[in-house]
Amino acid sequence: MRISFYIADKAVGATGFRAVWTEVKRKETCRENEFKCKGTRFCISRKLKCNKVNNCGRVSTGDLDKSDELECEIRKLLLIFFYSIQFVYFSYKA
């Protein structure tokens, strides 16, 4: 692997850079604590799902596999809804 950094005198609005490294495993079956990327079929840590970073890499066409970031907002809304119902239930019960 080769990493190169280039600087420019006239970088407008540049505030630095961010490097992201994701350890992936290519195997048929992922462990319980892993997430299977839909496009690349990589296994990544389940902790990386919904972290606002595409950790699954690129498929053979060059497009990003964003499967680890799909359905994240729905999950968050369902959790909020679930906790709201619990709050109302226990408030009413008391």
pLDDT tens-digit series, residues 49-90? 999 899 998 998 989 999 999 988 776 777 777 777 776 666
- Is residue 67 in a domain? yes
10 in a structural domain:
no
Q: Is 7 within the bounds of a domain?
A: no
| CA–CA dist 73, 85 (Å, integer) | 18
Nearest to 25 by CA among 65, 67, 56: 56
pTM: 0.62
What total number of domains does the chain contain? 1
78 in any annotated domain: yes
- Provide CB contacts within 8 A for 45, sequence distance 6+: 23, 33, 34, 35
Predicted confidence at residue 1, as pLDDT, reads: 57
Q: Which domain, by its residues, includes 81?
A: 25-93
pLDDT at 78: 74
pLDDT tens-digit readout, 6-48: 666 666 666 667 777 888 888 889 999 999 999 999 999 999 9
Judge whether 32 lies within some domain. Answer: yes
Yes or no: say if 42 and 54 are a contact pair by the CB < 8 Å rule: no
Distance, CA of 91 to chain centre: 35
